[in-house]
């Protein structure tokens, strides 16, 4: 299959492209650098024809929400980096509406807002907060492709691998014996081993009946304090020094409350109900795999 991957040089996109090539797919990477087919959304360009004629278009493009304080200008970049890319992909596909294709577009469990102890599945409504509003706009832009694509929206939890992402940042204090929960540690974390996240994308590619929104999270969400304990055991380091909430709020503002001190207890009801199985469904299994 001819598969175009927007955001194919990132933490999730790079190993995805490697997997697609190993299984024999013609994987084309859209990137703002020279590491693939260059694109600069929202503008169309030579890349547009590749998207229009692809069997599968995968959208992983978007600036990292956890990289710094959410100033007004940064919030705008987080929104525009997602909407510009998604709308540009949809517009390119629209030029060849009769093509049979799948459009797999990333989203996030931030869609559900801050839930406390409430459990969310795909039937749960959109919550409140910046991330909830951002993901709603992101998904709405992707749904514009429904007239001419089989649309699959994947709401990812925290994707775990020691090579990057959130886990790489979490590991640093543990290396120095200063790891532990964040704030109260009571907030829920909906996570997924990166291998299972990649397998879920492949499942969405290969399963012609998959449509709509799916939570891509392990079936065992964990409180932050339990996550810290499991990580400490995995790397043989103590995990009892909490990071106080106040300094995080001073440093990161709203981002601290939504990303670090808050969370969601999300379960993958649809994807498991439709036959997907996780290789690393628990933290212990995931960390055994990650740190093997």
CATH assignment at residue 19: 3.40.50.720
3-state class percentages of the chain: helix first, strand second, coil last, to nearest 5: 40, 20, 40
- pLDDT, tens digit, for every residue of 159-199? 999 999 999 999 999 988 889 999 999 999 999 999 999 99
The answer to the question of residue 224 being in a domain is no
The answer to the question of residue 54 being in a domain is yes
The answer to the question of residue 178 being in a domain is no
Q: Say how many residues make up the chain.
A: 292
Q: What total of structural domains would you count in the chain?
A: 1
Positive or negative: CA dihedral 5, 10, 15, 18: positive
The answer to the question of residue 240 being in a domain is no
3 state SS of 72: helix
Name residue, tokens 């990161």. 252
The answer to the question of residue 251 being in a domain is no
Q: For residue 28, give Cα distances in angstroms to 98, 151, 278.
A: 21, 19, 27
Domain enclosing residue 97, as ranges: 2-161+191-219+265-280
User: Is beta strand 56-59 parallel, antiparallel or unpaired with respect to 2-6?
Assistant: parallel
Predicted pLDDT at 191: 98
The answer to the question of residue 170 being in a domain is no
Taking only the tens of pLDDT, the chain with its 292 residues reads 999 999 999 999 999 999 999 999 999 999 987 778 999 999 999 999 999 999 999 999 999 998 889 999 999 999 999 999 999 999 999 999 999 999 999 999 999 999 899 999 999 999 999 999 999 999 999 999 999 999 999 999 999 999 999 999 999 999 888 899 999 999 999 999 999 999 999 999 999 999 999 999 999 999 999 999 999 999 999 998 999 999 999 999 999 999 999 999 999 999 999 999 999 999 999 999 999 9
Predicted pLDDT at 195: 98
Predicted pLDDT at 24: 98
User: What is the distance between the alpha carbons of residues 267 and 255, in angstroms, rounded to a whole number?
Assistant: 23
The answer to the question of residue 64 being in a domain is yes
With beta carbons less than 8 A apart as the criterion, state whether 102 and 55 touch: yes
The answer to the question of residue 130 being in a domain is yes
Write down the H helix ranges in the chain. 13-22, 47-52, 72-94, 130-143, 165-175, 194-206, 224-235, 245-252, 254-255, 269-273, 283-290
């Amino acid at each position: 299959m001819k598969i175009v991957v927007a955001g194919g040089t990132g933490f999730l996109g790079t190993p995805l492209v490697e997997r697609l090539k190993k299984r024999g797919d013609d994987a084309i990477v859209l990137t703002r650098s020279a590491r693939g087919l260059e694109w600069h959304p929202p503008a169309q360009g030579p890349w547009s024809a590749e998207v229009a004629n692809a069997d599968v278009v995968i959208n992983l493009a978007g600036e990292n929400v956890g990289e710094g304080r959410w100033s007004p200008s940064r919030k705008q970049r987080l929104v525009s980096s997602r909407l510009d890319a998604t709308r540009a992909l949809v517009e390119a596909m629209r030029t060849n509406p009769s093509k049979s294709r799948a459009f797999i577009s990333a989203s996030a469990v931030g869609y559900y807002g801050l839930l406390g102890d409430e459990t969310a599945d795909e039937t749960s409504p959109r919550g409140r907060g910046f991330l909830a509003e951002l993901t709603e706009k992101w998904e709405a832009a992707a749904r514009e492709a429904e007239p001419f694509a089989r649309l699959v929206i994947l709401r990812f939890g925290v994707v775990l691998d020691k090579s990057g992402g959130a886990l790489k940042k979490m590991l640093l204090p543990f290396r120095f014996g200063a790891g532990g929960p964040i704030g109260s540690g009571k907030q829920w974390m909906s996570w997924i081993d990166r291998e299972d996240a990649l397998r879920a994308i492949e499942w969405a590619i290969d399963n012609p009946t998959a449509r709509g929104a799916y939570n891509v999270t392990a079936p065992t969400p964990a409180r932050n304090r339990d996550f810290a304990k499991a990580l400490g055991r995995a790397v043989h380091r103590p995990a009892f020094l909490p990071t106080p909430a106040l300094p995080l709020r001073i440093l990161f503002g709203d981002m601290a409350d939504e990303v670090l001190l808050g969370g969601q207890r999300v379960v993958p009801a649809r994807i498991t109900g439709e036959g997907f199985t996780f290789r690393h469904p628990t933290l212990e299994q995931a960390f055994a795999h990650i740190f093997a």
